[in-house]
Chain A
Amino acid sequence: MTTAAPTSDATDEPALLAAVDVSKHFTVRDQLGRKATVRAVEHASVALHRGRVVALVGESGSGKTTLARMLAQFHPVSSGEIRLAGHRAPPAGRGYFRQVQLIFQDPFSSLNTLHKVRHILGRVLRVHGHAHTRAEVEEQVLSLLNRVNLTPAEEFIDKRPREMSGGQLQRVAIARALAVRPTVLLGDEPISMLDVSIRLDVLNLLARLCDEEGLALLYITHDIASARYLCDEVQVMYAGQTVEGGPKEAVIQSPKHPYTRLLIDSSPDPDRTGRGLRDQDDAEDLGEPPNLTAPPDGCRFHPRCPFAMDDCRRAFPDRTTFADGQWAHCWLHQHGRSAELDRTTSKELP
């Protein structure tokens, strides 16, 4: 594995969809009307393979949605390249969206609430030329509903969005994406608006689609535990930079970047033993996430990092790759200080 290559796993096939060293800069105006550049994503890479799930985690504003939108070609890249099945992706358009579908966080606003499910799904089938006659539409809509467990399908086909719960609606949204017959699904927090009790159903559905139908899935979330449940590989973003990635258990059980460590130690965990929230004594302020119009130089985590050294303020560290493919961008590894990450308890972390 070379340092610049996007993550790949043991498969030899090229990734169905990959972002290679992409950046996204937005131009905004501040309150005084001055122009500023938001450096939302910097030199990120991600590769999505057949039948596999990559989770993209990281704090709010770290660029996860922006990266997914570049993959879906809703945003043009500022630099870098989007690759579809090993080749530079064709321009955004029906042909591209037939391969790559994005599922949004909020099923309530992403579906037209006036129409019945039959119409919502039927339209997509017709537009993409998968069904022509009324009977074909009917048959395929029913089969889509069965695939997403909206049963009895004969009943759901005549419902309108407002007659359904959030979990049911999100399944309609997933069915609509599947109607296109994509090879890649990009899920931008697809369960965060759903009730806790029905989230698992949707996660299990997504897992089944990858296992049985070979879809490639990007799963964006704040929730590390759900990422662990669903994915094969995790990639962590901080302030527009991808700071760590690799097989999920490696990243979650032995993080190699101080931010990943902080993120995992901060995640609610009912099985937590030892120092819980209740007996935490005066902790220092963790500081605020950086402003992306004037991000910190070097590693953007350095103002909050307990290990920060001069190099961290100077330059973004190269990728260090570990056994089983885990990688991280952190100066600790280039200074022979990797062991400090394991030795430090969460108490000493910020």
Chain B
Amino acid sequence: MTARPLDTARSASAPSSALRGEPLLDVSRLTVEYVTERGAVLACNEVSFTLRRGEILGLAGESGSGKSSLITALTRLQRLPALTTGGEIRYHTRDGHLLDLVTLDERRLRPLRWTELAIVLQSAMAAFNPVMRLKAQFADVIVEHQPGITGDEVAERTGRLLRMVGIAPERAHSYPHELSGGMRQRALIALALACEPELVVMDEPTTAVDVVMQRQIMAQILRLQRRLGFAVVFVTHDLSLLMEIADRIAIMYAGRIVEIGAPQQLYTDPLHPYTRGLRDAFPPLHAPLTKLAGIPGSPPDLRDPPPGCAFHPRCAQRLPECEQVLPRLHQVLPQHGERQVACLLHDSIDPGGEAS
């Protein structure tokens, strides 16, 4: 794996920008289970979607809906008792090869980590080694992917990465606990970008910081993303944040994607009743206030999900068949834009009703 120096105009040069919008990841029928004494938990249930190069895909849904399970499966960072028990994750390399990340062995996976796939987790404290200075942790990642790089070059690159996220290069000498929470989180983002990955997966990277810092970090992520062209899968329960950053948003409920589409469409014209409920669960900051109702009931137990549509016990619009028939994620009529939804209220455009 050849590492590319940062700030050489990779994103401006032909390959990556020419590929923008091409598929990067094709996920199909991905199923993730937790094997427990009390039975299997279906954390992701036949999840399918395509991620394009340079795209920001937001993933929203309530606690326990399977968001973290999905992205740890995507990056192959899952650990027992989580198991990917079905489906494929086809990864398109820059030079046109297709790899199935589900079956790829560790030896071939290793070089992809950091240079192709990087992850930023909610807790930077847990991601960094507490007894190593930042510079040593950056060096580990950089050297592993670019053996033979000199110490000076590593130091210089580390400084540049930190500056990129608004941290003074001298702070490379600090231990993680010597940084504030917001700085640590930004340092983690810099580390994820150290080898210029194609895909950065972020699991609630800003929930531990307050809104001012969150906005600053988000603005930084977006600037870097525009410059370097990586694709992002961004997990959060905060739909209003996704509205501002995502190219597309996928809504998860009980282990399945129930709706996916462009933010504006999803917001102004949500098709799935759960999406609508989620949208209406955020009181406005400036618009006139009205009484909001939230979504009645509570999320299902994934050990024993309701039959049919898992949302039906909480759904005000349910039809009799919702209790038995599992709605598949399907394309809807063009007047709703390029969007897929899994709900029996919405007809599928292909008569078979099966899209995948």
| B-binding residues in A (CB < 8 A) | 59-60, 165-168, 195-201, 204, 222, 224-226, 228-229, 252-253, 262-272, 276-278, 280-283, 285-286, 288-289
Contact = CB atoms under 8 A, between A and B. Distances in A.
A233 to B, nearest CB: 15
B108 interface: no
Contacts of A166: 63
Contacts of A280: 219, 222-223
Contact of A263 (B212, B241, B283, B296): B212
B14 interface: no
Contact of B299 (A165, A253, A272, A285): A165
Interface stretch (B42-50, B73-81, B285-293, B325-333): B285-293
B291 A204 contact: yes
Contact of B213 (A168, A195, A201, A286): A286
Contact of B243 (A253, A270, A288): A270
Contacts of B239: 196, 270
Interface of B: 62-63, 166, 180-183, 209-216, 218-219, 222-223, 237-241, 243-245, 267, 277-279, 281-287, 289, 291-296, 298-299
A278 B210 CA distance: 19
Contacts of A195: 62-63, 237, 298-299
9 contacts: A167-B298, A225-B285, A228-B289, A266-B214, A269-B286, A270-B240, A282-B223, A288-B182, A289-B180
A285 B286 CA distance: 27
Contacts of B210: 59-60, 222
A201 B182 CA distance: 31
A283 to B, nearest CB: 6
Given A59-B210, A286-B213, A198 B295 contact: yes
A195 B167 CA distance: 33
B223 A199 contact: no
A200 B281 contact: yes
Nearest to A289: B180
B302 to A, nearest CB: 13
Given A195-B299, A197-B277, A270 B209 contact: no
Contacts of A276: 244
Contacts of B218: 277
B211 A222 contact: yes
A318 B90 CA distance: 63
Nearest to A202: B294
Given A200-B292, A270-B267, A280-B222, A59 B215 contact: no
Contacts of B214: 266
A57 to B, nearest CB: 10
A270 B238 CA distance: 10
Nearest to A195: B62
A229 B289 contact: yes
A197 B212 contact: no
Contact of B294 (A200, A264, A286): A200
Q: Which of B219, B292, B296 has the most CB of A within 10 A?
A: B219
A199 B213 CA distance: 23
Contacts of B281: 196-197, 199-200
B285 A228 contact: yes
A297 B169 CA distance: 28
Nearest to A167: B298
A262 to B, nearest CB: 6
A253 B289 CA distance: 13
A198 B292 CA distance: 11
A59 B210 CA distance: 6
Nearest to A304: B212
Contacts of B289: 228-229
A278 B244 contact: yes
Contact of B284 (A225, A262, A282, A285): A225
Contact of A197 (B209, B219, B267, B294): B294
Contacts of A196: 62, 237-239, 278, 281-282
B240 A199 contact: no
Query: 5 closest pairs, A vs B, by CB?
Result: A200-B294, A229-B283, A197-B295, A268-B240, A165-B298
A167 B63 CA distance: 12
A168 B287 CA distance: 30
